[in-house]
Amino acid sequence: MTHICFVRHGQTDWNLRGKLQGQTDIPLNETGKRQAEECRDALKNHRWDVLITTSLQRAKKTAEIINGDLNLDMIEMDHFKERFFGEGEGMLREEREKHYPAFTFPNMESYEELVARVQTGLRDIHALYPDRKVLVVAHGAVINALIREYHEDISGLQHVKLQNGCFTDIQFKDGKWFVRSYNQIGHLTEMV
């Protein structure tokens, strides 16, 4: 059975300020680096076969810090890159709610496009690493889409407030993916 632990990247200054990042390439802040270290410490006593990250620097840096003790092959895969929010990127929550209360921005990637991209990535992982344990450093909208699409009981799960540095576990079993747990934060000392 293929097992994937999705790790949400550590905090950035835009996360802290409530700015919508999307695919804008923002680095980790000091809190984000500490969160990545705490993820590393929580993950290092388990066996993992491969570490996948996106090309965005906040995910790559989180993955590099996690990999400090794991020494895994690190692969870049942009199927799990953050959703593109078009003209909404860089906007503060108040601006978004005022100008786009439906959270639909000009030129943004549709939910269906996001899900198709993520599903392609899951198929690739399952084909390349069947019955392996895979770490994937990814982004909030991607992980939310996984929860929404593969959790057995999605009532109330249309959007989960995911903490930076949280873990979400999914497995491929009996021909389908399912979410085992999400937004696991017991390893983190600082939540925002």
The catalytic site residues sit at 9, 82
> Quick check: 40 and 69 in contact, CB under 8 A?
yes
> Quick check: 28 and 43 in contact, CB under 8 A?
no
Count Cβ atoms below 10 Å from residue 123 Cβ, excluding itself: 13
Strand partners, 170: 4, 179
> Quick check: 166 and 141 in contact, CB under 8 A?
no
What amino acid is encoded at 33 in this protein? K
